[in-house]
């Protein structure tokens, strides 16, 4: 069934941004319910942190623009007849923490759905969860763990970009398989989705890792003031970074 869906489904169905109307109403509402708490926490953190440090405002703008531009760039998937996309949220999470990155990702997804027909409003919650939440938290977690174990800045950022990107697609495949698979066919559907994206998403993840490492290194060299007190400080705890 999974292979048949790839062959006969319309092109927008299986992009990273799940298209309007693809998910049944119950699933769409359910993913909203899971995603919204992350956004509430993130908005509160943005308000608190910008009041404490106005220097975070340009970094918010930089990270938000990066997420929007990176995640709107399509890469064709020949097997599936659709497109893959980088995420951008691992980079934002490294710089600002995962909750704030989730808000920036949600805003980018909303603008893409409204003005570029990229994704949809009914599937906004699912897309937030996969790209903005999962991509951010996986990227953040990988970066933090590697830094705490002594890995240098740019290799840690590279790994965060790669694994955050791949985790986004694994979650998107999970959402689609959960909603569309026949009873008892979840794992077959999920495997078909992952396999179809793999030819483009595996190398695309490496490219996102290179981009993430390059941007983090450039910011550290040229505008270290933007990173003051951020996750890039070796001694900062994960709790401090997301508080």
Amino acid 229: pLDDT: 44
Token pair 């048949």 is at which residue? 4
CATH number of 2-6+19-242: 1.10.1760.20
**Nearest 5°: CA angle at 208, between 206 and 213?**
95
Residues 69-106 pLDDT 10s: 988 877 766 554 456 788 999 999 999 999 999 999 99
Residues 20-60 pLDDT 10s: 888 999 999 999 999 999 999 999 999 999 998 887 888 89
Nearest to 209 by CA among 165, 174, 240: 165
SS3 assignment, position 76: strand
Length of the chain (residues): 243
Phi, psi of 126 (to 5 degrees): -65, -40
Residue 239 pLDDT greater than 90, yes or no? no
Please report which confidence band the pLDDT of residue 121 belongs to, taking 50, 70 and 90 as the band edges. very high
SS3 assignment, position 40: helix
**pLDDT above 90 as % of the chain:** 51
């Amino acid at each position: 069934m999974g292979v048949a869906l790839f062959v006969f489904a319309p092109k927008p169905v299986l992009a990273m941004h799940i298209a309007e109307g693809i998910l049944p109403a119950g699933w769409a509402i359910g993913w909203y319910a899971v995603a919204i708490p992350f956004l509430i926490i993130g908005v509160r953190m943005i308000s608190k942190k910008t009041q404490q440090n106005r220097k975070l405002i340009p970094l918010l703008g930089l990270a938000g623009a990066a997420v929007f531009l990176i995640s709107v760039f399509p890469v064709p998937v020949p097997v599936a007849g659709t497109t893959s996309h980088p995420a951008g949220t691992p980079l934002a999470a490294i710089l600002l923490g995962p909750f704030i990155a989730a808000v920036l990702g949600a805003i980018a997804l909303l603008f893409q759905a409204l003005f570029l027909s990229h994704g949809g409003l009914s599937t906004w919650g699912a897309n937030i969860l996969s790209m903005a939440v999962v991509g951010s938290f996986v990227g953040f977690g990988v970066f933090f763990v590697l830094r705490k174990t002594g890995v240098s800045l740019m290799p840690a950022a590279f790994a965060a970009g790669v694994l955050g990107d791949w985790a986004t697609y694994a979650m998107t495949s999970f959402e689609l398989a959960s909603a569309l698979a026949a009873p008892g066919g979840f794992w077959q559907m999920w495997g078909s989705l992952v396999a179809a994206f793999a030819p483009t998403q595996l190398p695309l993840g490496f490219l996102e890792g290179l981009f993430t490492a390059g941007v983090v290194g450039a910011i550290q060299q040229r505008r270290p003031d933007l990173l003051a007190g951020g996750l890039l400080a070796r001694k900062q705890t994960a709790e401090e970074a997301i508080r």
